[in-house]
Structure formats: structure tokens, C-alpha cells
């Protein structure tokens, strides 16, 4: 537990030499130790054995605030002890609660139809700060308390760190198989159109928007260089109905898509299946299949299909599979900062309270979250303004952008009509 608390303090400080500055911050209620530190944060009791894992550990609404920042635990009281500032706002427990997904182990009975914890049931949404990276605001407070104690600690530069333009390849093609022809014949546009799509050039397939995506993302990469990453997540298994369509590696069209990815030197990761969200033990098998079938080396990035990372402890299966970076951590029903941060963070297992080797990259925006009526259902201009606000928050606190747009969202269909326009506008905002 001590390692976890020390990591949270360093993460909150968020500056070069955070390790050295962290030695000036204490997390104790023992008065005899106060003199060792410049700032002491008084524990709220959240981590005590009689509280942790019980209903008493859950924050109560309405939340208290400290300097305008919502506080999950403790009180806004501040005092002095000789030359040490004593802070009763437990920003350590508050950060832990958000970063570890602790709320989700306390509310196991609250899941949507896909087994996901709904964003609109989360404390950040109910308390009104889903659009604010509150952990970064706690860090700003901690640095200000150190400065008041005559410690010269800088503020992080307000600029974007990494930019992750990510795309889940759920359905790479619209009508390139006999099954697709049957579907379109009986439920779609008819046999003649289906045959035309099936026999025509791949570039005419409505879902094959990859050349356009690569061109748009390339403009951002030209601006930011190595800080911008194009990352595509590929399926490699899953027998559940929600894992359809399956795209066999041996097909000519899939080979052409892989060649396109290689030519553009994009990054590829595992899109672990819906079935694997039900049975996480399948994740290592799917990773090995992806590496073998697609002849890829050392896949170490993952995103769950449907964002269905069901239970926090399931993350241990990612570690076992050799995954080092996960990009699932966004809510499907509301965009924002699910983990309370806009920076990559090591996963803390709330069951064991231990720090792990897995890095979580907070996903702030997914295309269908914005547009689909069962989620946010925003029109174009409102969706743009919402995303722009998240972008500004991320830049202000030196975070990383993680956006998800599916290739199918750029298909020329009435349902997805605004995503091309929205995506271009957002990329231009990044460039400008």
C-alpha cells in the first residue's frame, strides 16, 4: 500500500523530479512525524480495514469543495504546525478512488446490457465533474500548498503530450462476402447493388474509409511528429453474436488492408472480443492468434470491444497476456474523464490495493457516444463544442489526447452523416 500511495503523490505532483518533491509530502495523522514534511495530508480513514470495501467508504453527495475543486474525502480545513502545512483534504484517497475504478467494485449490481458500468451512474457524472480531470486539479492544489510552504516547485507546461488517434476495426468491409450479399439481398439495397459492391474495387466499399482516415490523421502527424500516433485495433477471435463480422486473415481484402497499414507505418493493437469480456481468460489466446495470423510482433496494446472491460480485476488477464497499455478507459454512454485524469496512469488494482505494470490511457471521446440517441445524442455543433472543451482541459494540464472513431462512422450513410465533418473540424483544432 505504501508503494501505491507514493505513486499517487508523485503522479499528483506531475513534474520533473517528482520523486524528490514527494519526500516533502506526508500522508499521516501522527503528529510526531509532521516535522519531516513541508505539507502533510491527513488521511480520512478511507484505507482503514474497517472502512475500505464497505458502504462507509463511498463519498456522499453533495461533495465538499476545496478552492472550487470537488473533494471526495476529508474536509477543506487547513492549518499550520510549526513550518508544516496541515491539509485535511484527503486528495490521496480521492485520487485513488477515481484512478482505481474503486466505485465499480462497490456497485457490482449496476451494469448495463453489455456488463459495463454506466458513466451516468458514476460519481463524476452525478457530481457534475465528468468533463474535468479532477486528479489534475488535485495536483495543482498540492503544488500550490508546497509553494506556500516555500518549496519552489514549477507548474507543468500547458501543452499536449501524446496524441492517440485510434480506430477500432469492427467491420472493415460492408459487402465483400457471400454472407454480405445475402444480407443486402434480403434486408438491404438488393441483389444487383450487393453484387456490384462485392465484385467492384475495394475502394468503392462504403466501410473501406481507411485511405481517407490515414490522410486526415497524417495531417496531424505532420504537425506533431512523434507525439502523434495512429493506432488501429484488430479483432482476432470471439464467437459471440456481438463479435460479428469476423474477417479472416487469409482473404484478399484483409491482406490489402494489412498492406495499407504497413505502408503507412501505423500501430496495431488487439481488439479483444466481446466473448473475451465475458471470459477474460481468452485474451492471451486472442493476442497470440493476432500475432500469428497477421504476422505481427509483440502486440502490447489493447482495447476491449464495446469498451466492455467489465470488472476492474479483469485487467490482470491483460497483464498475464503481455499487454502493457490499455485504451479502453472511457464510458460508452458519456464522454469525459472516466479515471479523473487526462494523463496515462499505472493501473491500481482496487482488490489488492497494489500498483501494477499496466498503463491505462484515458479515452475521452468515442464517436458513437456523441451521436447515438441512447447515449449523448448530440447534434454536430454541440458535439464539437463538447469535444473542444475536453481538448482544452487536456492541453491545460499537459495530458494526452485519446480519441476513438470507427471506420464505419465515416461511411456515407444518413445515420453517420456528421462524423466526417466533426472529425475534420476536431483535427483542424488540433493542428491550429
User: What average pLDDT score do residues 74-89 get?
Assistant: 94
pLDDT at residue 193, as a whole number = 64
- Measured between alpha carbons, how far is 405 from 213 in angstroms, rounded to an integer? 9
- Same domain? For 233 and 104 the reply is no
CATH number at residue 336: 3.20.20
Asked if pLDDT for residue 344 goes beyond 70, the answer is: yes
Express as a percent the part of the chain with pLDDT over 90. Answer: 83
Note whether 283 and 276 are within 8 A (CB). Answer: yes
Note whether 233 and 276 are within 8 A (CB). Answer: no
Three-state SS string across 101-167, please?
CHHHHHCCCCCCCCCCCCHHHCHHHHCCCCCCCHHHHHHHHHHHHHHHCCCCCCCCCCCCCCEEEEE
- Same domain? For 297 and 366 the reply is yes
- Same domain? For 100 and 243 the reply is no
- Measured between alpha carbons, how far is 389 from 386 in angstroms, rounded to an integer? 5
pLDDT tens, 406-421? 999 999 865 668 999 9
- Does some domain include residue 198? no
pLDDT at residue 416, as a whole number = 60
**Coil, strand or helix: which one is 64?**
strand
User: What average pLDDT score do residues 240-260 get?
Assistant: 90
- Same domain? For 56 and 84 the reply is yes
In the structure, what pLDDT confidence band is assigned to residue 204 with cuts at 50, 70 and 90?
confident
Higher-confidence residue of 201 and 241: namely: 241
* pTM of the entire predicted model: 0.94
- Same domain? For 212 and 140 the reply is no
- Does some domain include residue 181? no
**Coil, strand or helix: which one is 84?**
strand
pLDDT at residue 249, as a whole number = 84
Total domains in the chain come to: 2
**Coil, strand or helix: which one is 192?**
helix
- Does some domain include residue 385? yes
- Does some domain include residue 306? yes
- Same domain? For 105 and 167 the reply is no
pLDDT at residue 201, as a whole number = 74
- Does some domain include residue 379? yes
- Does some domain include residue 405? yes
Return the C-alpha cell found at 93. 484517497
- Same domain? For 218 and 303 the reply is yes
- Measured between alpha carbons, how far is 126 from 23 in angstroms, rounded to an integer? 35
Q: Domain span at residue 62?
A: 2-148
- Does some domain include residue 242? yes
Q: Grid cell 450487393 — which residue?
A: 194
pLDDT at residue 316, as a whole number = 96
User: What average pLDDT score do residues 112-128 get?
Assistant: 97
pLDDT at residue 205, as a whole number = 85
User: What average pLDDT score do residues 131-157 get?
Assistant: 96
Express as a percent the part of the chain with pLDDT over 70. Answer: 93
pLDDT at residue 16, as a whole number = 85
pLDDT at residue 166, as a whole number = 98
- Same domain? For 98 and 218 the reply is no
- Same domain? For 113 and 168 the reply is no
pLDDT at residue 329, as a whole number = 97
Sign of the Cα pseudo-torsion (97, 57, 355, 328, in order): negative
- Same domain? For 337 and 216 the reply is yes
Asked if pLDDT for residue 121 goes beyond 60, the answer is: yes
- Same domain? For 225 and 369 the reply is yes
- Does some domain include residue 11? yes
pLDDT at residue 294, as a whole number = 86
pLDDT tens, 157-202? 899 999 999 999 999 987 556 566 565 556 666 655 655 555 557 7
Q: How far is CA 130 from CA 299, 338, 390, in A?
A: 31, 7, 10
- Same domain? For 250 and 123 the reply is no
Sign of the Cα pseudo-torsion (409, 295, 329, 117, in order): positive
- How far the first Cα of the chain sits from its last, in Å, is 43
Amino acid at each position: 500500500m505504501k508503494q501505491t500511495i507514493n505513486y499517487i503523490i508523485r503522479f499528483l505532483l506531475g513534474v520533473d523530479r517528482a520523486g524528490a518533491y514527494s519526500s516533502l509530502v506526508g500522508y499521516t495523522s501522527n503528529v510526531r512525524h509532521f516535522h519531516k514534511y513541508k505539507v502533510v495530508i491527513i488521511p480520512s480513514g478511507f484505507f482503514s480495514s474497517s472502512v475500505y470495501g464497505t458502504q462507509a467508504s463511498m463519498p456522499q453527495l453533495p461533495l465538499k469543495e476545496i478552492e472550487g475543486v470537488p473533494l471526495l474525502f476529508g474536509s477543506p480545513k487547513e492549518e499550520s504546525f510549526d513550518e508544516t502545512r496541515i491539509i485535511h483534504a484527503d486528495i490521496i484517497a480521492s485520487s485513488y478512488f477515481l484512478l482505481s475504478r474503486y466505485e465499480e467494485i462497490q456497485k457490482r449490481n449496476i451494469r448495463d446490457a453489455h456488463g459495463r458500468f454506466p458513466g451516468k451512474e458514476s460519481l463524476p457524472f452525478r457530481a457534475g465533474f465528468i468533463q474535468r480531470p479532477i486528479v489534475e486539479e488535485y495536483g495543482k492544489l498540492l503544488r500550490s500548498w508546497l509553494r506556500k510552504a516555500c518549496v519552489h516547485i514549477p507548474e507543468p507546461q500547458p501543452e499536449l503530450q501524446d496524441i492517440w488517434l485510434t480506430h477500432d476495426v469492427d467491420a472493415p468491409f460492408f459487402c465483400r462476402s457471400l454472407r454480405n450479399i445475402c444480407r443486402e439481398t434480403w434486408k438491404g439495397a438488393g441483389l444487383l447493388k450487393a453484387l456490384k459492391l462485392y465484385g467492384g474495387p475495394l475502394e468503392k466499399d462504403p466501410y473501406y474509409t481507411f485511405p481517407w482516415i490515414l490522410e486526415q490523421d497524417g495531417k496531424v502527424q505532420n504537425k506533431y511528429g512523434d507525439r502523434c500516433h495512429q493506432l488501429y485495433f484488430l479483432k482476432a477471435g470471439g464467437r459471440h453474436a456481438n463479435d460479428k463480422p469476423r474477417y479472416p486473415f487469409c482473404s484478399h481484402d484483409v491482406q490489402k488492408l494489412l498492406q495499407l497499414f504497413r505502408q503507412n507505418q501505423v500501430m496495431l493493437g488487439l481488439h479483444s472480443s466481446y466473448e473475451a469480456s465475458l471470459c477474460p481468460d481468452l485474451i492471451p489466446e486472442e493476442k497470440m492468434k493476432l500475432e500469428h495470423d497477421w504476422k505481427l510482433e509483440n502486440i502490447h496494446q489493447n482495447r476491449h470491444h464495446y469498451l466492455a472491460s467489465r470488472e476492474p480485476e479483469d485487467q490482470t488477464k491483460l497483464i498475464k497476456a503481455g499487454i502493457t497499455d490499455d485504451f479502453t478507459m472511457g464510458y460508452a454512454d458519456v464522454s469525459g474523464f472516466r479515471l479523473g485524469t487526462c494523463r496515462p496512469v499505472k493501473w491500481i488494482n482496487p482488490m489488492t490495493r497494489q500498483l501494477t505494470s499496466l498503463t491505462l490511457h484515458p479515452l475521452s471521446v468515442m464517436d458513437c457516444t456523441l451521436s447515438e440517441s441512447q447515449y449523448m445524442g448530440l447534434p454536430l455543433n454541440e458535439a464539437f463544442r463538447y469535444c473542444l472543451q475536453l481538448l482544452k482541459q487536456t492541453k491545460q494540464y499537459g495530458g494526452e489526447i485519446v480519441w476513438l472513431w470507427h471506420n464505419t462512422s465515416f461511411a456515407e450513410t444518413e445515420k453517420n452523416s456528421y462524423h466526417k465533418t466533426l472529425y475534420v473540424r476536431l483535427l483542424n483544432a488540433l493542428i491550429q
